[in-house]
A and B are shown apart, each in its own frame.
Chain A
Amino acid sequence: MSRPFPYTFISCPCADTPVPDPARKRRSRESPQKQSPQKPAPRPSTSEGEKKGTTANEQRDEDDEDEQTFDPRSPRSDFSLYPPEQLLYCEECHQIKCSRCITEEIVSWYCPSCLFETPSSMVRGDGNRCGRNCFNCPVCTAPLAVSTIENATGNGTQQGPWVLSCAYCLWTTLDIGIKFDKPTNIRSQLQKMTDATPPAAFDRSRQASRTLDSLKHPLSSSASVEEHGNARERERDIEHPAPKEDPTAPPMGADAQFAALKNFYRAQIAETSNSPNDHLSSDFGFSSPGALNRLMSLYTSSSRLGGLYGGNKKAKSKPPVMREALTASEGLQIAPKNGEADIIARLASPDCGWEGVASLDQRKAQAPNARFVGDLLPLPVLLRTKRAKRCKSCKHILVKPETKPQSTRFRIRLIALSYIPLPTLCPLAFSSSSALPSMAPTPDLDSLSPLRPIHVLLTLKNHMFDPVRITLATPPVTPGRVATKVTVLSPQFEIGANSDVWDEALQGASATSSGDSKSAGLGQRGVPEAGKVWDKGRNWTTVVLEVVPGTLPGSSAEGGDGNPETTDEDVVAVAASRKDEDVLEIPVFVHMDWDADAQLDQQNLGKASKADDKVTRELAYWMVLGVGRIQASL
């Protein structure tokens, strides 16, 4: 269940061509038996419908049995099923394209908050985030607004220190002790603050302020702001000497440590590569002969064994070897002696509590050592991109958006629905005078009774300007443990071309009435008959599927193939453990062919079988119809 019932999904045909792995092919050629451990552990299944797996391995193994039934329940099929509107179509390959079989090229970068386009040269420098004043709240991810501290008093003087404040959760940068001097260029101001302040002192002061501010919110009144400001100053005074006292363990920020390490390694590489031999390649490993030699000489020249190899070894200079970082300025950071006792104490303290600790989601975009809510910094908005999409196999452009962030138009957009029929599904409702009086007027799709047949109308709407011949195929019994019987009453039919709407109007009243009949009253249509389409319009055709929902495994309605001694508790357990197993999804194989104009297609131009430049095209894909949810009992 992923959308309200009924729904349709289309499986991109690229799922049938698995990732080619040369090594695996080779392996299977050598010994096919070796593949067996690669297969997934077979899921316990009782139904005979699940005998075919859809994993790539098996498909390749049994390529003689090419016609595999698509299993919408397989975990892999979740990656190939798309709502019809999300698919693209490549006109060169004549194939449906999903997001897995296209390549993307970025056209422009923009901030979703201020809609400013960021030039490509700036994107990396800004860390893929907006370089202006767009920030998200680190606590609740709502956008932050720049406001003055005084704006609580009401006079719009627009001066004084500025803060970022969240309108949703009322978090402000005052909570972490940050004020800005001017309302512009907040990003660089923030950068400067987080970098310039010694990280230790900065963190401490922020932590202290956090505990205070959590009691009274600074935006509540200006008086409290003053109070907090003073309190924070006091706290800072108290806290400041602390990090200076223990020079053994000055905690560095990740950035600082990284920069120190980088400088250190740079210097080391420069030093060591100035050796007379200048053999760079042996600086890091012992695999080259030179390094091996050096390693050997290490044991020989210093010890008495050196004599064995002659005196010339002793005269040889040793190339300087890179050493490890030794001081904090070189990036070495020794873990503090007292350990994390203060963190534990803070976790346990009542002023921190559950809310004081940053959640997983909050921490995701923060510095790796952020642990408390007070450690969170406002997040510049992540940029977004507009991307052009190309077919992966032929590089044909499928989608090309306008560059401007404000524009939602596309220069090129080949969506699949212009080429494949749009499937829609609706349950068939019978009037009370229907031939099947036991049937409810409109079956509730969220609770289908097992073993009670329902009829579903599948409408395929053609958007091409050529009429299309369709063949539908479906496995008689749906895969999975819930064996639902499905019959397409008229599997072969034709859909008219998407001609001018006026044509239909001009054709007369008969066509119009048939088009309206679906909404006017279905009772007059009578009962669905095998071999007949249900309804037909200008560019759409409706057929009937007869569906007999299967019984949930272990349910009381189960007859033959289940064990009868199951209770209702088991039903719940089974349904819960295998989530969504009660959802009735029907795989339908759609094969469509049509006569298209071949004039653009040079290859087929000469040997076009049909007259006047027509060539027959075909397209085949699997489609999944989500009908409803089967209820456990009758």
Chain B
Amino acid sequence: MASDTQSMNASKRNSATSSLRHSQATRPASPHTPQQPIRSGSTSFASNTSPSSSFRSEDDAIIFEIGARSLRAGFEGNSTPACVVGFGPEDSRRAGDYRGWIQGSTGAARLPQPVDAEDWARAYELWRLDSREVDLGLVEDKIERAFRETYNQFLLTDAGTTRLVLVVPSLMPHPLLSSLLSTLFSRWRFPSVTLLSSATMSATAAGLRSALVVDVGWAETTATAIYEYREIATRRTTRSMKHLMQETGRLLTGLGSNNQDNTETNDGISVGFGYCEEISSRVAWCKSRSDEDTSSSKLNQTLSIPSPANPEQEYMDVPFSRFAEPTEKVLFASDIPEHEMDDEEKSLPLLVYNILLSLPPDARGTCMARITFVGGGSRIPGLRQRVLHEVSSIIDRHGWSPIRGKALERQRERLEQLKLSSQRPSAQTEAPKNNEEGSSPDEGPSDPSKEVPEIDFVEQKLRRQNKDTPVPLQGVLREVESLGPWAGASLTTSLKIRGMVEIEREKFLQHGLAGATRDIEHPVPDRRSGLRSGGDRSSWTLAGWA
């Protein structure tokens, strides 16, 4: 489906700018002065400091990936977390309250009255990103209990003895981060907590240095462009799993109440959250294109699901195609024209396209060939291909230009005529083309292909010098599978790579988050604990979280 456009893009973007950096960096060694003055300064500085805490016991660090809906925990070096623990009302019960066991699976039963979609999901999330709506004390209670039970049930080690690595989104409200850290530090005796950004870790777990990580998460979908392990841009949309769940809830509510008065059911959900989540995780799927013929033979099947009216006993037949509706409506917004959507609620393909558009061209070329989907939504079958397909069709239509509209069409026609009349000056129009003009769908692919033969001889020479090093793929839409942020953090930690943000217990307990230096160019602690001592340990930074 997306292959034709990919190949076209490949020809278009054919590594004209293919990383100078890369070919440069791996040039064979030539005679050189052993050390740069600055560099030697930095190393001597590092080695002069006392080997503070780098020779720590070789206990395996414990890695927690924490999100609004669930928590993953396990040991470094493992490929999968030891456990995945969800947050729900069952976890907020009093000790000795065994109602959940009496009533059977919670949230399965039909609710007596439709409830507001936001309230419906509220009990099932640990926090909201809007910290005005969050009772931080309650969050602390929940975190404490979740961590304690995870340690006691799954990790089976003494809590607080080893280093803790937290994988958190790079944009996290400070009150939440502060609550999280102060709970951990005051409850247990963790010597230090390392923060790792989930997007970068996802890229690492895919084996990439640069990637576009699309995290279809609970509260929002974020697209983060990683370039050489650095987050260079991030965009987010509220089209996410929460809305998908709410939409599925509405769909099931509609199915349950057989009368088709949608106006009445639209404002409330009357199916249980647990039931809805079960349905959504099992059978939600995504069409490969918006106009896919759902009446085709294989998709015309009906599926027998537990009836929304009485999930414990009855089953009801539902056309399989209906389970693609929430995905279609929420994540792709196929019923809303693009200009109607607010900036914060762009559909997933637009999100991906927009962030690629906002990148500098060579970063864009690198990132678009390394798109990685993580998060709960990436499990929906067909979703990822659909996003890539739609992105490539947007690129076909508009190229890499943010400018839309009729005036542009007219201008392009004029330019085209201009070009037809004089073939020579095309060299001059090339300059603007890179900035704004690569847009025209028919011109874009054709022109660069003509101009490519004018080869950069430096590039050629470099290429000849490093024949053995493969040229990184650029400029085509390609999806790379990632093992997820948790696995990335496990990899990174097991390789003894230290994170930028390593918060030591004593430092944090003195000043809390406010003790972090605001200095962006903070001296990086040495990343390998065993080999060399850390840098300046007297201060610490929050780096990207500051």
Contacts and interface: CB of A to CB of B under 8 A. Distances in A.
Do chains A and B stick together as partners?
Answer: yes
A324 B92 contact: no
A279 interface: yes
B481 A334 contact: yes
B355 interface: no
B483 A257 contact: yes
A298 B20 contact: yes
Interface string B439-456: 000000000000000000
A333 B481 contact: yes
B478 A334 contact: yes
B172 interface: no
B87 to A, nearest CB: 13
Contacts of B305: 354
B383 to A, nearest CB: 8
B481 A335 contact: yes
Interface in B5-51: 20-22, 24-27, 29-36, 38-39, 41-43, 46
Contacts, number: 352
Contacts of B159: 103-104
B500 interface: yes
B54 to A, nearest CB: 12
Interface in A303-343: 312, 315-326, 330-335, 337, 339-341, 343
A301 interface: yes
B39 A290 contact: yes
Contacts of A261: 205, 207, 483, 491
B479 A105 contact: no
A38 B131 contact: yes
A82 interface: yes
A315 B33 contact: yes
Interface in A54-71: 55-57
A52 interface: no
A223 interface: no
Given A334-B478, A357-B282, A262 B491 contact: yes
Contact of A347 (B75, B277, B285, B531): B285
A437 B79 CA distance: 71
A285 interface: yes
B403 interface: no
Interface residues on A, range: 35 or more
Contact of B527 (A281, A335, A367): A281
A76 B210 contact: no
A560 interface: no
A289 interface: yes
Nearest to A82: B95
Contacts of A55: 135, 137-138
The residue among B36, B229, B528 with the most chain A CB atoms within 10 A of its own CB is: B36
Interface in A251-289: 254-255, 257-259, 261-262, 264-266, 269, 276-277, 279-281, 283-289
B29 A317 contact: yes
A37 B384 CA distance: 38
A489 interface: no
A216 interface: no
Interface stretch (B111-119, B249-257, B416-424): B111-119
The residue among B42, B229, B472 with the most chain A CB atoms within 10 A of its own CB is: B42
Contacts of A19: 137, 140, 179, 182-183, 186-187
Contacts of B522: 287
Given A86-B96, A254-B80, A288-B523, A124 B277 contact: no
Interface in A494-553: none
B24 A83 contact: no
Given A2-B99, A100-B144, A280-B528, A76 B94 contact: no
A347 B279 CA distance: 12
A302 interface: yes
Interface in B293-336: 298-299, 301, 303-306, 315, 320
Given A284-B497, A321-B22, A348-B298, A103 B188 contact: yes
Given A24-B178, A255-B79, A349-B301, A279 B39 contact: yes
Interface stretch (B214-222, B344-352, B356-364, B511-519): B511-519
A168 interface: no
A298 B21 contact: yes
Interface of A: 1-3, 9, 18-27, 37-38, 40-41, 55-57, 75-76, 78-83, 86, 98-100, 103-106, 109, 123-124, 127-128, 254-255, 257-259, 261-262, 264-266, 269, 276-277, 279-281, 283-290, 293-294, 298, 301-302, 312, 315-326, 330-335, 337, 339-341, 343-345, 347-350, 353-354, 357-360, 363-365, 367-368, 371, 382-383, 385, 387, 572-573, 576-577
Given A78-B94, A333-B206, 20 more contacts: A2-B98, A2-B99, A20-B509, A23-B182, A24-B512, A127-B78, A255-B79, A257-B481, A258-B80, A258-B205, A269-B495, A280-B526, A324-B207, A339-B382, A341-B288, A344-B299, A344-B381, A348-B299, A354-B315, A357-B282
29 contacts: A22-B182, A23-B182, A40-B134, A40-B138, A76-B138, A79-B138, A100-B145, A104-B159, A109-B156, A128-B82, A257-B483, A262-B494, A265-B491, A277-B34, A279-B43, A281-B524, A298-B20, A302-B462, A315-B31, A320-B25, A321-B22, A324-B207, A325-B206, A339-B288, A344-B285, A347-B303, A349-B298, A359-B278, A577-B113
Interface of B: 1, 3, 20-22, 24-27, 29-36, 38-39, 41-43, 46, 60, 75, 77-80, 82-84, 92-99, 111-113, 115, 119, 131-138, 140-142, 144-145, 148, 151-160, 175, 178-179, 182-183, 186-189, 205-210, 228-230, 277-278, 281-283, 285, 288, 298-299, 301, 303-306, 315, 320, 370, 379, 381-382, 384-385, 458, 462, 469-470, 472, 478-481, 483-484, 487, 490-491, 494-495, 497, 500, 508-515, 521-524, 526-528, 531-532
